[in-house]
Each structure stands twice: as structure tokens, then as C-alpha cells.
Amino acid sequence: MSLNPETLWYNESHEWTQIEDQSGQKIATIGISDFAVEQLTDLVFMELPEVGVKVTAGEEFGEVESVKAVSPLYSPVTGEVIEVHNELPNQLEILSEDPFGKGWLIKVKLSEESGLANLLDYAAYKKQCDGEA
């Protein structure tokens, strides 16, 4: 099941996040946008954090490598990694096929929400991408 890109929040660095309330805890599912996947083209490697790692909004949590470049992955939120899409680094084609669904990267239990104010809504993110294309 793919998420609607228009309902997600974005980093300027092209990571998306969906925030859900699960049993009183805010959980963020994080991925990279279709724009980022298209810009990187031929993906060859991805490094993701382990479960239990603490991430901070705006800080690196992993990287994705294409034949063109190595790009850091920046967390849109602050909290603890509670789930990692471990099959993804061995099946990078999923990112091209379904970046807003099966292509999710990590899930994070939020420890604070202050970083959310820095995220872009879809209209602002699309405007940024149109300027980069």
C-alpha cells in the first residue's frame, strides 16, 4: 500500500515522513521521495541504522549510493529507530517501484516534536523540486 505523497512531510534533502499515533506514541515512517530516486538514478548501495539507534532531526542516519554519487540520508525527526526495512539494501529496485510504500526505510518512535516545524508540506516540497529540476 503506497502513501499519498500529498499527505506527507518532507526534508529539503528529500526524505519524507508520515507521523502516526500508535497507542499514544508518535511513530514516524521515513523514506526518500521519488524525486530523489530519479535524481540519483542507478542505486547500488544503501546503509541504514540498527534498531535502537537514536536519530536527531537534521542529522545523518545512513546513506544511499548511486553510480553518480553518495548521498547522506537525514532524519526528519528526533527519536529512536524501532524498525528497519532490512530487505531494502539488497532490493534497491523497490525504491524506484514504490518509494512511498514498500520503499520505506526506517520507523522512529519520536522523543520530541520540535523538529517537525522545519518540515515542508507537499506544496512547498514540490516547489523546491521544480526549482532543482
What does the pLDDT look like over 72-120, one tens digit per residue? Answer: 999 999 999 999 999 999 999 999 999 999 999 999 999 998 888 889 9
Q: What three-state secondary structure class fits 76?
A: coil
Note the CATH architecture for domain 8-115: Beta Barrel (2.40)
Distant-in-sequence, close-in-space partners of 73: CB < 8 Å, separation ≥ 6 = 13, 15, 32, 48, 60, 61, 62, 63, 64, 105
> Tens digit of pLDDT for each residue in 7-37?
999 999 999 999 999 999 999 999 999 999 9
CB-based contact 67:92 (threshold 8 Å): no
Rg from Cα positions in the chain: 14
How confident is the model at residue 78, as a pLDDT? 96
CB-based contact 28:115 (threshold 8 Å): no
